[in-house]
Structure 1
Amino acid sequence: MSTEAQNDPASIALEALTESGLGSGVEVEAGGQDGTSARIEIPFDPDRIDVTTRNPTIDLVLSRAKSGAIDLEPDFQRKAGIWDNRRRSRLIESILLRIPLPTLYAAEDKDENWIIVDGIQRLTSIIHFCDSQLISKSPLALEGLEYLHDYEGLTFEDLPSKLKLRIRETELVLHVIRRGTPDPVKFNIFARINTGGMPLSNQELRHALISGPVRQRLRELALSQEFIKATTGSVRDDRMADREMVLRHLAFESIDVMTYTTQDFDGFLTDRMHFLNSLPESEFRVYAETFKQSMTDCHGLFGRQAFRKISREYLPRMPINKALFEAVSVNVAKLNRSEIEKLKIRKSDCEEGMARLMDDTLFVNAISSGTGDAKKVRYRFDRIKDMLMELAHA
């Protein structure tokens, strides 16, 4: 590839795919590496890794679900992977036929609750059939059974007593990563687990393993009209790419970017998600309002080209670039209202300024490959800041 081709945004802006094979609306980084892959820092202490295998009965699972000791987090389920009643019924049929079920995976929190990471659909289906009130559903009537046709249309309460008992006494296989195991190790283990044939994304892992208000907080901002308008509704939520973008903004908004030195970007995002989880609601509201105002201002300054590589020679619009999203949105959030109004008057100059940045090989590299690298983070933030301030004070 020629140097000119390498510097052309159109030649490097590939769009990530969702589980269903559709475009995610977000650019995938060159080489498939975004600097956020789960990693274990070496050396680590193997004695701190505590994984145990348990064989809870379905009756115990129902008991834990009733007491809130199992975190199924329905919002974590992938849209493309949500089971219909026929598939749920086939699972129940397998239990009645005493066919072993696939292994479940969970992490244990400080209160010894199980956070289910792999097997959510299976457990939800079992609970739906055995005690639908626990998940606020109407009773599940069996349908589409392959062998037990006599039970077609029956609910749990309709089954003979011996079959109810068979279900309740069925043992499941559950691998539990005990509390105290370091987060990077948990992430590394769960990153290797396939759910529906596709490995969990890093944000799906964070969402599964970090329970608390931060889940709803990120979801709320990802669904906000300000975010949707700024990204032209192009970021799909199948793999939680939208929530990761929100988290990236809040993570850098909460620190002095010029002091950012870590080389473990995924660990940085995990740490910042814990931080956001710990904030009182009143303090988080400040971050949330700043985020939404930044989205409004970014749309006002860059329109449909916001957070995308801009080429002066190629007409096709690029996918959203995550590194640009964080660098532009955080820098815009730090501008005062007077500076924003001056920049709005010079909207075309803002787009031209962004296009000029694409002539800077170092800048393009800083938003295209290994974007979690500390030097690249500081470089792209600094260049965006200089461009905005130059235009605001010209």
Structure 2
Amino acid sequence: MGLQEEIDKMRQEIRADHYSMSIGEWISLYENAEIDIHPEYQRFFRWDKSQKTSLIESILLGIPIPPIFVSQREDGVWDVVDGLQRLSTIYEFIGKLKDEDKNPLDPLVLDKTKYLPNLEGKKWEDPYDIPNSLTQVQRLLIKRAKIDATILLKESDEIAKYELFQRLNNGGSIATPQEIRSCILVMFNREMFHWVKKLSQNEMFKECIALSERPIEEQYDIELLIRFLVFRTLEEREMKKIGNDLSGFLTDKMVEIAKNKEFNYTEEEAAFNKTFEILYEQMGSDSFRRYAPNKDKFLGGFLVSAYEVIALGIGYNYEQLSHSHINISEKVKQIWTNPEYTNSSGSGTTAQRRVPKLVPFGRQMFQP
């Protein structure tokens, strides 16, 4: 297939439409539950109060607002793909925004800005504080302002939605690939997202990975959990398809799992919990640190190459290990002097080379 044929094929798989909509219409969509802004995303986006105020200022001044990208679901509801912060700021300002549990959030109170310093302390409408409320004229000015909508129609290829999400949000308000991945998971399977979040709170898991505050804020613990779910039983021939983009590979496999109605949540939860119970009891926070044989000590911080061997190796064999008396600590120490590990985990080793070697190596090492 030549380039033009590839272009023609993909263009046929993406169906989009465009509307010019007033903010009043965007508000009505939210009030009638005809748009899903995914409140779970709020933790991944980091607009502060001044950024929110700047948006309201821009609307009042007539400065054009970038279009909102949405995807139309089978039930006709629009999923927000790009524009969450713009819409949630508007909904928060008018006092309509709700959290994940459908509880209303406090309305936004504005700060002063360079061009409109009198915005300080202003609210949408408060009958008990008229001086600090916008006037009817100002509220109508906002409700009649336009924000265009680009709609990815339900006839489009499903993959187009998350491809669009990644391309629009890379380098934007979201900081890490896993935060993007989490948003995509909410799109495809909200229940699975909450299941993953619940698993990540396992105290034995948190103790074993022993991450500092920053990686946890950036959801690296969730990424490690996704790696466990993706690679634990993945066939070796599939691992060889990683290519140069491990992040994209993880996202694609996660979406496959999210869409798989046969995925055994009970089995995977048991494997995850038992793996980290075994590690917690024998290794604790040393589980994925470098072992120095000359000092007989575990040193430094978390190493992902150790995780790929140890967590996934135990996870693959967890049922047999549950009934055996293998000394896991001694097995782990052996890994650090094994050339099969050291030759595949050094600095400069790419995920493309590392993962297809280390994961099968771990399965073999922890076989009872």
Q: Give 1:371's aligned residue.
A: 351
The reply on whether 1:175 has 2:150 as its aligned counterpart is: yes
Q: Give 2:223's aligned residue.
A: 244
Q: How far has the Cα of 1:156 moved from its partner?
A: 1.1
**Aligned positions of 1:279-298 closer than 5 A:** 279=261, 283-298=264-279
The reply on whether 1:71 has 2:49 as its aligned counterpart is: no
**Aligned positions of 1:1-394 closer than 5 A:** 45-78=10-43, 81-132=45-96, 134-135=98-99, 136-157=104-125, 158-194=133-169, 197=172, 201-210=176-185, 211=187, 212-234=190-212, 236-253=215-232, 255-258=233-236, 260=238, 263-264=241-242, 266-267=248-249, 269-276=251-258, 279=261, 283-312=264-293, 316-321=299-304, 324-333=306-315, 334-336=317-319, 342-344=325-327, 347=329, 349-357=330-338, 360=341, 362-364=343-345, 369-372=349-352, 377-389=355-367, 392=368
Cα distance change of structure 1 residues 200 and 234 upon mapping to structure 2, 3 Å threshold: closer
Cα distance change of structure 1 residues 324 and 57 upon mapping to structure 2, 3 Å threshold: farther
SS at structure 1 position matched to 2:79:
strand
Tell me, in whole angstroms, the C-alpha distance in 1 between the residues paired with 2:283 and 2:37: 40
Is the 2:59–2:145 Cα contact (8 Å) retained in structure 1? yes
Normalising by structure 1, report the TM-score. 0.72
Cα distance change of structure 1 residues 271 and 178 upon mapping to structure 2, 3 Å threshold: farther
Cα distance change of structure 1 residues 72 and 350 upon mapping to structure 2, 3 Å threshold: same
Instruction: Tell me the amino acid that sits aligned with residue 159 of structure 1.
Output: L
Q: How far has the Cα of 1:352 moved from its partner?
A: 1.6
Instruction: Tell me the amino acid that sits aligned with residue 206 of structure 2.
Output: I
Instruction: Tell me the amino acid that sits aligned with residue 247 of structure 1.
Output: I
Tell me, in whole angstroms, the C-alpha distance in 2 between the residues paired with 1:213 and 1:360: 37
Per-residue deviation, residues 346-380 of structure 1 (Å, max 9, x unmatched)? 52x22321202366455326x9744356xx54432
Compute the RMSD of aligned alpha carbons.
Answer: 3.5
Instruction: Tell me the amino acid that sits aligned with residue 243 of structure 1.
Output: I
Tell me, in whole angstroms, the C-alpha distance in 1 between the residues paired with 2:170 and 2:234: 37
Cα distance change of structure 1 residues 214 and 372 upon mapping to structure 2, 3 Å threshold: farther
SS at structure 1 position matched to 2:167:
coil
Cα distance change of structure 1 residues 217 and 372 upon mapping to structure 2, 3 Å threshold: farther
Q: How far has the Cα of 1:309 moved from its partner?
A: 4.9
Tell me, in whole angstroms, the C-alpha distance in 1 between the residues paired with 2:227 and 2:341: 23
Per-residue deviation, residues 58-106 of structure 1 (Å, max 9, x unmatched)? 1122122223332322332356x53333432232122112122234333
Cα distance change of structure 1 residues 242 and 111 upon mapping to structure 2, 3 Å threshold: farther
Is the 2:312–2:363 Cα contact (8 Å) retained in structure 1? no
Q: How far has the Cα of 1:291 moved from its partner?
A: 0.9
Is the 1:230–1:304 Cα contact (8 Å) retained in structure 2? yes
Is the 2:95–2:108 Cα contact (8 Å) retained in structure 1? no
Cα distance change of structure 1 residues 358 and 298 upon mapping to structure 2, 3 Å threshold: farther
Aligned length: 340
Per-residue deviation, residues 277-304 of structure 1 (Å, max 9, x unmatched)? 55589x5233223212212222334432
Instruction: Tell me the amino acid that sits aligned with residue 122 of structure 2.
Output: L
Instruction: Tell me the amino acid that sits aligned with residue 371 of structure 1.
Output: A
Q: How far has the Cα of 1:384 moved from its partner?
A: 1.3
Instruction: Tell me the amino acid that sits aligned with residue 246 of structure 1.
Output: L
Q: How far has the Cα of 1:163 moved from its partner?
A: 1.4
Cα distance change of structure 1 residues 126 and 153 upon mapping to structure 2, 3 Å threshold: same
Is the 2:68–2:149 Cα contact (8 Å) retained in structure 1? yes
Cα distance change of structure 1 residues 134 and 77 upon mapping to structure 2, 3 Å threshold: closer
Cα distance change of structure 1 residues 139 and 335 upon mapping to structure 2, 3 Å threshold: closer
Per-residue deviation, residues 213-253 of structure 1 (Å, max 9, x unmatched)? 11111111122223211211437244432222212212234
Instruction: Tell me the amino acid that sits aligned with residue 107 of structure 2.
Output: P
Per-residue deviation, residues 84-136 of structure 1 (Å, max 9, x unmatched)? 33432232122112122234333333334333343322211110012335451
Normalising by structure 2, report the TM-score. 0.77
Is the 1:55–1:174 Cα contact (8 Å) retained in structure 2? yes
In terms of mean alpha carbon deviation, does 163-172 or 289-298 score higher?
289-298
Tell me, in whole angstroms, the C-alpha distance in 2 between the residues paired with 1:247 and 1:105: 27
Instruction: Tell me the amino acid that sits aligned with residue 270 of structure 1.
Output: D
Is the 1:106–1:176 Cα contact (8 Å) retained in structure 2? yes
Q: Give 2:130's aligned residue.
A: none
